[in-house]
Structure 1
């Protein structure tokens, strides 16, 4: 059976909003979904059922990020500084302050902006002083996501999935409690995520890719050193989703999952794609009285089944009390049924919560989850179990976002590789190709393009950085020849870099490999590149034509619509056409083999 991507962004960059899996086919997409990551002041009422993640005005540009102050920072949207009729209003409880505009100010604002309301800039100090201020980020499916920061260095990253009521003051307190334990926490509205998934084409959903991609973007945006696979913490229905994600995802995508008041029911009309291990049955509509399997149009959600294996540790915190969601979901959520479910899964843990506290789901219990020692202890234990982040890069290249992948013991090669990732960051294809090369004795230094091009670069400055990497790792690994490999955005910039290398470094280059080459190159990260190919970057074809004959290889998928590879001269560049699209049907071991064969000379690479 064919698998499906979480969403199809553009024909060019499937990885931009969700890391795809081998064999997934393109679905529909919404052009606005990945446009902006502009923090702004949330203007919804506190505790609204939709909460964050439903809609947000998208500013045209982001203001400079203010220096951190005590607690989280609220960054307002771009607009007209000092506009009249605008105030920042603190909200009681955990909700952030709102920007309020008088009716005359709204009318004048729209008139000045072509009929579109543009929220103004308010002095950061004014907003930061308001109680409960948080930073809001929009990216991909996730809109105006509240981000809670620890006071010190980030020790872990948490994607917190709300209950069926959306983001509430209670879930905000939970996020603040985790931030106090050193976590960078992003608050995601589960109902809003479900609505976005259900709006896409296709008959099943892969939200794990969206969650991983958001995590990578968030950590790059916040300049977190290295990368932390996120811990999923879910409240009620969000806890069911957290469980489903570590059943669906590949290993090392998520560090762990914690479910609060777990019930194995998802009110997601579109079922999850089967993925690596998530199993479920279709839920019957309450109006049906027969045991006949429901049709998709009648779908009332899915019932999760115990997985045979999970990709990460999972702990469920249960009080035995029925929350409003659990009561609606029926006997599947009763204490005995959920405990049996948890005990069925190898390695899963169950932790008892005090029975007087439905507070995590918006109830009125005397002891909310955040005040309970079991909650804090369970998170601390999960955080301690996660794999430590990789060691920082050597001092000589510590200013670059590099990842070292050592050659596997017992293997050897005269080659080493420098791999420039796609603009989705160091994930998916990049990691898999690097792993396959390492099995053949080729150590790899990866460059995370998402982080690298967050700072504007030029062809000359990028070439200087590549020169530094080639010289440093040739000496460090005692290798004579280098493979320079780029994927997607990394492929786009590679010919510019190679042509500007000093002669001494270029002599080390055995092959320059461009995988998924486009037509224009960007040397700076742009939000709009996540939904369409760049129309304003530098033309790539003239730069490829300057490469020495035999030095370049261009690999493309036969289904790619905007690849530059077919327009290249096969007498100058090794051309390799593979099945599939921009991800080559997920056959990453074959990609590595083709690269190594191509390094032996033109005509060596198998198709």
Structure 2
């Protein structure tokens, strides 16, 4: 026989459970649609002005940096870009969740990268470009860089990728739900054939889907760091590895 005194407790518990489920569903919808809702930035471009030592008499250099799918508000992207700017190199940051809020075609994805390079050249007056990216942005750069037109290839001093994946999707989704289907691109083989600029690839040794190990033997600088895709959140270690690799690959950049 049911204890009548338990019934008043059952209803609040059911309501609490329903409320929790509704909140979780709302959060999932918000995260999935964060790029389209501009919750991760409302501008496509973020400038990191050059600071630190003046570069007078040195190579006129700028960087293009494509962020991860959380934009420049979260993760390591903004810190890596700022570290480059602190060495006197202006950085044109591309806010990936804003630019890739909706699905792109391959032609459109290529145009984003080419357009960012042209923008950096025009806005900074640089002669050469460091093409850099992190996470989702690194996926896009790994895909687009091999097919850059010859005039832009000649301007690229180095390609630096931090934690790129093997599978690439042309819509940014911080919830990762959009990354469960068939990929839009798998850029490894094309990137292996890039010999017109040095390639640097930084990854976490615990990652299981990293593109970087596949570049071994190509002349690319493949750097494995402790941790998974988040690299143990070791911001200082990632920046040190990135700048060290750039100094070794392109000493004329003087980073």
Task: Give yes or no for TM over 0.5.
Answer: yes
CA offset digits 1:114-134 (Å, max 9, x no partner): xxxxxxxxxxxxxxxxxxxxx
Residue 441 of structure 1 and its aligned partner are, at CA, apart by 1.4
| CA distance in 1: counterparts of 2:105 and 2:52, whole angstroms | 37
Residue 449 of structure 1 and its aligned partner are, at CA, apart by 1.7
Residue 555 of structure 1 and its aligned partner are, at CA, apart by 0.7
Partner residue of 2:35 out of 197, 204, 220: 220
CA offset digits 1:100-151 (Å, max 9, x no partner): xxxxxxxxxxxxxxxxxxxxxxxxxxxxxxxxxxxxxxxxx73236xxxxxx
Aligned residue for 2:169?
A: 522
Conserved 8 A contact 1:411-1:441: yes
| CA distance in 2: counterparts of 1:493 and 1:603, whole angstroms | 23
Aligned residue for 2:20?
A: 54
Residue 404 of structure 1 and its aligned partner are, at CA, apart by 1.0
CA change 1:568–1:54 in 2 (3 A) is same
Aligned residue for 1:144?
A: 26
Residue 554 of structure 1 and its aligned partner are, at CA, apart by 1.0
Aligned residue for 2:153?
A: 506
SS of the counterpart of 1:539?
Answer: coil
| CA distance in 2: counterparts of 1:531 and 1:470, whole angstroms | 27
Q: Does 1:403 align with 2:50?
A: no
Aligned residue for 1:459?
A: 106
Within 5 Å, which residues of 2 pair with 1:161-240?
220-223=35-38, 226-227=41-42
Residue 576 of structure 1 and its aligned partner are, at CA, apart by 0.9
Aligned residue for 1:442?
A: 89
CA offset digits 1:50-75 (Å, max 9, x no partner): 3985225xxxxxxxxxxxxxxxxxxx
| CA distance in 2: counterparts of 1:534 and 1:488, whole angstroms | 18
CA offset digits 1:534-569 (Å, max 9, x no partner): 543322222212312652111111121221211223
Larger radius of gyration: 1
SS of the counterpart of 2:25?
Answer: strand
Higher RCO, 1 vs 2 (CA within 8 Å, ≥6 residues apart): 2
CA offset digits 1:465-522 (Å, max 9, x no partner): 3222212222321222211112122111212211222211221111111211211111
CA change 1:535–1:437 in 2 (3 A) is same
Which runs of no fewer than 5 residues in structure 1 stay unpaired? 1-47, 57-140, 146-209, 228-391, 393-400
Partner residue of 1:584 out of 231, 236, 246: 231
Aligned residue pairs, count: 234
| CA distance in 2: counterparts of 1:475 and 1:431, whole angstroms | 22
Q: Does 1:423 align with 2:69?
A: yes
| CA distance in 1: counterparts of 2:16 and 2:84, whole angstroms | 46
Aligned residue for 2:10?
A: none
Structure 1 or 2: larger helix share? 2
Conserved 8 A contact 1:53-1:144: no
Residue 430 of structure 1 and its aligned partner are, at CA, apart by 0.9
CA change 1:586–1:535 in 2 (3 A) is same
Aligned residue for 1:491?
A: 138
Conserved 8 A contact 1:484-1:513: yes
Conserved 8 A contact 2:34-2:174: no
Q: Let me know the Cα RMSD of the aligned residues.
A: 3.3
Conserved 8 A contact 2:157-2:197: no
Conserved 8 A contact 1:550-1:601: no
Within 5 Å, which residues of 2 pair with 1:355-374?
none
Aligned residue for 2:3?
A: none
Residue range with higher mean Cα deviation, 583-592 or 571-580: 583-592
| CA distance in 2: counterparts of 1:556 and 1:225, whole angstroms | 24
CA change 1:411–1:499 in 2 (3 A) is same
Aligned residue for 1:546?
A: 193
| CA distance in 1: counterparts of 2:190 and 2:152, whole angstroms | 18
Which runs of no fewer than 5 residues in structure 2 stay unpaired? 1-13
Within 5 Å, which residues of 2 pair with 1:560-599?
560-599=207-246
SS of the counterpart of 1:50?
Answer: helix
Residue 442 of structure 1 and its aligned partner are, at CA, apart by 1.9
| CA distance in 2: counterparts of 1:525 and 1:225, whole angstroms | 11
